[in-house]
Amino acid sequence: MENKVIQKKEIQDRLKIVGKRVTLPRNIDFCIQDDTLYLTVKLQGVIKNMQEDCSVFEGWCICIKAVLPEVNHVVLSWEQPANEVANLHYNRFLMRVASFLAEYSWFSIDGKHTEEVRNVQNLLNGECLYVNYPKSEAKKVVDEKKKPEAYRERMEVKKLQDGGLLAGHQLPVGLFDGKVSKSTSFTPRGASQVDLWQVVDKTLRVFELKCKDNKKVGIISELMFYANTMYYLKEGLIRYPSDVAVVKDYRNFKELYQLIAGKLIDKIDAVFMVQELHPLFDAYKKKILEILNDNKFRIRYYIEEIE
């Protein structure tokens, strides 16, 4: 007897138990065979920003694994871009795949992608990657209507600093190969930043903040990338450039750097700071957190709801 294959439409129909508006992205193919979920990310998904629905493979497979009890394993494949169209987003996509493989035993990739991912793993293991740092203060005042999340960040960072705790916002996480310069960019820089961070005892907490009009599965992939980057910094696999020690201090960065360089950070916590969650995440948040927290990096994920 042939094994039943559950195609994308049926998977989507089953996910709609939490709401009729739940839809799977057009540029990812999904199917389930036996106890394995197969995802294939099309070209647009591998070269798009990691918060786009068509790119966030981590978020979708974790949500589906939480909702559908028969899914025990996940196998990922993707369309590999030609050299001329490969970009910094694709490099970050491969970084995310490498991290996900290292964290979760139930996740694997199609064998044809092994070499590409191994090359990224070698960059990490060879301590070849560097991360950038703040070179200016963030704007103190932003328009709440035009940039509600940036406005809210400025409110929340003050709360995180209550009681004299070390905290800041807009911490860059652009990665570079060999040294930090425009010509050596490995992943997107500029807008690639941790929304908020805080140090409590020896734990570095990183936050991804979303207001109520921004309820996407992508929040999972974004926060995972930021938390993993901080984990690699803690472990010394990613480093800050040597000039950090003498640069001007912005956004409380220098004290954070000193804690990381001094090996004084023991743990990474990752916090979803949200007004509302995507319907799948909201309906299965307990199970999703359980899956997220069963990772080999010992990163702990939490949800913090804000008004």
Q: pLDDT of the chain along its 307 residues, tens only?
A: 457 899 999 999 999 998 888 999 999 999 999 999 999 999 999 998 898 999 999 999 999 999 999 999 999 999 999 865 568 999 999 999 999 999 999 999 999 999 999 999 999 999 999 999 999 988 887 888 889 999 999 999 999 999 999 999 999 999 999 999 988 999 997 778 999 999 999 999 999 999 999 999 999 999 999 999 999 999 999 999 999 988 899 999 999 999 999 999 999 999 999 999 999 999 999 999 999 999 999 999 999 999 8
Residue 159 phi, psi (nearest 5): -65, -40
In angstroms, the CA 236 to CA 223 distance is: 20
pLDDT for residue 1: 44
In angstroms, the CA 167 to CA 180 distance is: 24
Q: For 184-205, what is each residue's pLDDT tens digit?
A: 999 997 778 999 999 999 999 9
Total count of residues recorded for the chain: 307
pLDDT for residue 297: 98
Residue 89: closest CA among 232, 187, 5, 196:
187
- Looking up tokens 């996740």 gives 107
pLDDT for residue 261: 94
pLDDT for residue 86: 60
Query: First-to-last CA distance in the chain?
Result: 53
In angstroms, the CA 57 to CA 145 distance is: 31
At 265, list the tokens.
């950070």
Please list the helix, strand and coil fractions of the chain in percent, rounded to the nearest 5, in that order.
40, 25, 35
